[in-house]
Amino acid sequence: MRSANAKAKAQGVPVEAILADMAGLPPPGAAPALAPTGTNGTAAAPAPAAAPAAVPAGPPEGVRTQRLLTVVQAKAIQQVKAEPTDKVNVWPHLLAIEFVALLVVTAVLIVISVVINAPLLEAANFNLTPNPSKAPWYFLGLQELLSYFDPMIAGVLIPGLIGLVGLMAIPYIDRNPSVRPADRKLAIMMFTFFLMGAATLVIIGSFFRGPGFNFTYPWSDGVFFDDLKDWLE
């Protein structure tokens, strides 16, 4: 019935004519008594079986009965093709692990918070510059670089170009499609150098820099890292 409706709409003729055509009957104009039975659904049931016989008659020349609505490409942002993969239910397999991880981190955090107090030094005083003055620890790598390079290089080019733009550009620079570690030795080596370099600079800036931001050894000159002041005293 639905296909008859669509066909009638496409050809611009009454539904009854199409139904009669599908059933292999003369058009309703020739036999008006048959038309009502065609619309009440009882006669529509045998229609599919009879349809192939009516196909040769078909629509008039140049009339399309199907339209292309859209083509879904496999490269769209949704992954359309479903490959057979080994999958497990998120509940309970993943949720249980996540819940335990959450509890462990909460427990560790509570223990640390009970043992070590967050630092609170004297009230802010614009007239008393502490020596050394240090940035928050995650910026101490940059502050460390500032003692080697011109501020323009250490404060802008390295964090801005390498740190932000460079990191964002990684997927567009690394065109190697493989994810196997053996195939991407150069990428892994470069990123590891970047990580180790950043970590080394932060550690030096945090623990090996004393008054005047001069190099000191934490074991002989003491630690100048106020974030852990409560714990280190």
Partner 1 sequence: MANGNGSGGNGGLKLRERFAEAGSRIRNSQTWGSIFRPGSPFRAGYSDSPRNRSYVIMNNVLYHLHPVKVKRHGVRLSYTLCLGGLSFFLFILLTITGIFLMFYYTPSAEAAYADVQALSTSVTFGGLVRNLHRWGAHFMVITVFLHMSRVFYHGAYKPPREFNWVIGVILLLLTLLLSFTGYLLPWDQLALWAVTVGGNMAGFTPVFGDQVTFALLGGVEISGATLLRFYVLHVLFLPFIIVIFMAVHFWRVRKDGGISGPL
**Residues between 39 and 78 with contacts to partner 1, criterion CB under 8 A:** 77-78
* Near partner 1 by CB under 8 A: residue from 114, 212, 219, 233: 114
**Contact flags string 192-221 toward partner 1, x per CB under 8 A:** ---x--------------------------
Work out whether 127 is an interface residue with partner 1 (CB under 8 A).
Answer: no
Q: Which is nearer to partner 1, 49 or 110 (CB)?
A: 110
Phi, psi (degrees; rounded to nearest 5) at 10: -70, -35
* Near partner 1 by CB under 8 A: residue from 31, 49, 50, 102: 102
Kindly indicate which of the ranges 28-36, 44-52, 58-66, 113-121 contains the residues binding partner 1, using the contact rule CB under 8 A: 113-121
Angle between helices 2-11 and 15-22 (to 10 degrees): 120
The owner of tokens 């009454």 is 14
* Near partner 1 by CB under 8 A: residue from 31, 49, 53, 109: 109
Task: Tell me the C-alpha distance between 152 and 123, whole Å.
Answer: 32
Q: CA triplet 72, 74, 78: central angle to 5 degrees?
A: 85
Task: Tell me the C-alpha distance between 170 and 195, whole Å.
Answer: 14
* Near partner 1 by CB under 8 A: residue from 60, 122, 148, 185: 122
**Contact flags string 147-176 toward partner 1, x per CB under 8 A:** ----xx--xx-------x--xx-xxx-x-x
Contact 8, 14 (CB under 8 A): yes
Work out whether 106 is an interface residue with partner 1 (CB under 8 A).
Answer: yes
Q: Which is nearer to partner 1, 32 or 177 (CB)?
A: 177
Least Cβ distance, residue 219 to partner 1 (angstroms):
23
Q: Which is nearer to partner 1, 57 or 121 (CB)?
A: 121
Q: Which is nearer to partner 1, 51 or 146 (CB)?
A: 146
The one-letter amino acid code at 137 reads W
Work out whether 189 is an interface residue with partner 1 (CB under 8 A).
Answer: no
Q: How many CB atoms lie within 10 A of CB 47?
A: 20
Give whole-number Cα distances, 196 to 154, 159, 189, 199, in Å: 17, 15, 10, 5
Task: Tell me the C-alpha distance between 194 and 199, whole Å.
Answer: 9
**Secondary structure element (H or E) that encloses residue 75, with its range:** none
Work out whether 85 is an interface residue with partner 1 (CB under 8 A).
Answer: yes
Task: Tell me the C-alpha distance between 151 and 63, whole Å.
Answer: 73
* Near partner 1 by CB under 8 A: residue from 125, 127, 220, 233: 125
